[in-house]
Amino acid sequence: MNEFYITELFFGISQVLLLVVLSPLIVGIMRKTKARSQKRVGSPIIQPYFDILKLVKKEEVVSDQSSWIFRCNPWVNFATTVSAAFFIPVSIVYSPFGVMGDILLVIGLFGLGKFFTILSGLDVSSSFGGLGSSREIMFSVLVEPALLITIFVIAIFYGGTNISMIVTSANEISFLASPGVIFALIAFFIILMVETGKLPFDNPSTHLELTMIHEATVLEYSGKSLALIEWSQSIKQIILLTLFVNIFIPWGISDNFSLTEISFGMLFIITKIISLGILITLIETRIAKWRLFRVPDLIAISIASSMMGVIFFFI
């Protein structure tokens, strides 16, 4: 029993490592898809790895206005994001670390990272940083209710806020059985687009003061710090994608601890994440960036949708 538990823990850690290692690949695939759909050739899909390797070796320039908050932000961001990955089931319906934290903790950890990012945007005392922080604050305030009510729907439908439990029951009950979860899916999809900085909310590929949000807060970073920031952003993206896939379309996920089932589960999850990534990119290329003050409308749709989900569950 004890030995089994240790094997499980090792498996959990290797799953996290897999997410960490694969995350730049997803970014590469999404960039490639975007380039292709815009009739460009685009950079190779493993370009994000080269970027990280290059940045890690480069000299770092730190703003002389900044304090230790600015310098510790990349580390805090990376540590919180990767720690959040420990609680997410990937190829098997439960995570070995699942009992230690639930989905609210995952949100809290992301929140801690975001907190430091916003502060470091203000720390460099440029107007770009302030601009990014201001917009990031606005979005996070508005997304918070949408996120929590969506979790509310999922938690009451699948009987718990522990992600392992959610995924286990999601695997057993088809979500088509309840319209409530479909509303949660719509809400969660919008949140996913906001949190990963996708159009029409944010356009991380430009450095234009009209469009940038997340980029503006991290504009002053270079070298190692930038590598960590970019990497943790892509890990956050893969975590959210995994969460989305495993909660709403868990088909093919392994429900017991056996080698063959897990390998199949792994295969399924990677395929699903990549397809979801491509789908999101295709949606992104079809819409333009929205005006900043129109974006709250879309988030309001997300809140309304999740509230509908709750009402559908209760009635």
Partner 1 sequence: MLENFHLVYAIVGFFSLGAILGLFSRGKSQHVYLTYIPSIIGSFLAVILSIVVFTSEDIHITLSSQQIFNFEIFIDGVAAFFILIIGLISFAVSIYSLSYSKKFDDKKNNSNLGMLVNLFIISMILVVASNNIFFFLIFWELMSLTSFFLVIYEHDNENNLKSGLTYLVMTHLGTAFIMASFLFMYAQSGSFSFDSFRDAGIIPDYVRDVAFILAFIGFGTKAGMVPLHIWLPQAHPSAPSNISALMSAVMLKIAIYGIVRYLFDFNSIDDSSNYLWWGLGIVVIGSVSALVGILYALVERDIKRILAFSSIENIGIILIGLGLSVVFASFNLTSLSILAFVASMFHTLNHAIFKGLLFMTAGSIHYSTHTKNIEDLGGLIKKMPWTGLMFLIGTIAIIGLPPLNGFISEWLILQSLLSVFQIPSTILQVSLTFASLALALTIGLAAATFVRLFGISFLSKSRTLKAANAIEVPRFMLTGKAILASACIVLGILPFIGINLIVTAFNLSYTPLSPFEPLSIITEDGKSFASLMMPAVLIILLSVFVSIFVFVKIIGGKTSTKKYNTWDCGFGGLSERTQYTATSLVEPLSRVFAVFYKPKNEIINSFYSDQNQYLKKSIEVSYTTRNIFEEFYDLVLSFNLYILNKIRKIQTGKINAYILYIMIALLSLLFAMGTGLIE
Task: Show contacts with partner 1 in window 112-151 (CB under 8 A).
Answer: 112, 115, 118-119, 122-131, 133-135, 137-138, 140-145, 147-149
Shortest Å distance, C-beta 117 to partner 1: 10
Task: For residue 65, state whether it binds partner 1 (rule: CB under 8 A).
Answer: yes
Our CB check for partner 1 shows the closer of 162 and 233 to be 162
Among 44, 58, 174, 275, binds partner 1 (CB under 8 A): 58
| Nearest one of 198, 279, 191 to 240, comparing CA atoms | 191
Select from 25-33, 197-205, 247-255, 288-296 the region that touches partner 1 (CB under 8 A): 288-296
254, β-bridge pairs: 92
Is 152 a binder of partner 1 (CB under 8 A)? yes
298 interacts with partner 1 by CB under 8 A: no
Q: With contacts defined by CB under 8 A, how many residues of the chain interact with partner 1?
A: 84
Instruction: Scan residues 157-176 and list those touching partner 1 (CB under 8 A).
Output: 159-162, 165
Type of residue found at 200: P
CA distances for 62 relative to 12, 33, 120, angstroms:
36, 34, 12
* Residue appearing with tokens 């009992």: 99
Q: Which is nearer to partner 1, 282 or 292 (CB)?
A: 292
Q: Is 179 in the site for partner 1 (CB under 8 A)?
A: no
Minimum distance from residue 195 beta carbon to partner 1 (Å) = 13
How far is Cα of residue 91 from the mean position of the Cα atoms in its chain?
A: 17
Nearest CA-CA partner of 314 in 195, 193, 178, 206: 178
Say how far apart CA 159 and CA 313 lie, in whole Å: 12
Length of the chain: 315
Structure tokens belonging to residue 67: 């304090």
Max intra-chain CA distance, the chain: 60
Residues 61/223, Cβ–Cβ less than 8 Å? yes
Among 170, 227, 241, 245, binds partner 1 (CB under 8 A): 227
Q: Any contact of residue 108 with partner 1 (CB under 8 A)?
A: yes
| Contacts (CB under 8 A) with partner 1, residues 66-95 | 66-69, 75, 78-80, 82-83, 86
Which residues from 242-281 bind partner 1, rule CB under 8 A? none
Q: Which CB sits closer to partner 1, 56 or 192?
A: 56
In terms of Cβ atoms closer than 10 Å to its own Cβ (0-12, 13-18, 19+), residue 4 is exposed
Q: Is 310 in the site for partner 1 (CB under 8 A)?
A: yes
Query: Is residue 294 involved in binding partner 1 (CB under 8 A)?
Result: no
Q: Which residues in 11-50 contact partner 1 (CB under 8 A)?
A: none
Contact 101, 188 (CB under 8 A): no
Nearer to partner 1, 15 or 281 (CB): 15
SS3 137: helix
Please, what is the minimum distance in Å from the beta carbon of residue 40 to partner 1? Answer: 28
291 scored as a contact of partner 1 (CB under 8 A): no
Tokens of 127: 């107007």
Residue 122 or 181: the one with the smaller Cβ distance to partner 1 is: 122
Interaction between residue 213 and partner 1 (CB under 8 A): no
Burial of 39 from C-beta contacts in 10 A (0-12 / 13-18 / 19+): exposed
Question: Which is closer to partner 1, CB of 10 or CB of 251?
Answer: 10
DSSP-assigned letters across all residues of 6-33: HHHHHHHHHHHHHHHHHHHHHHHHHHHH
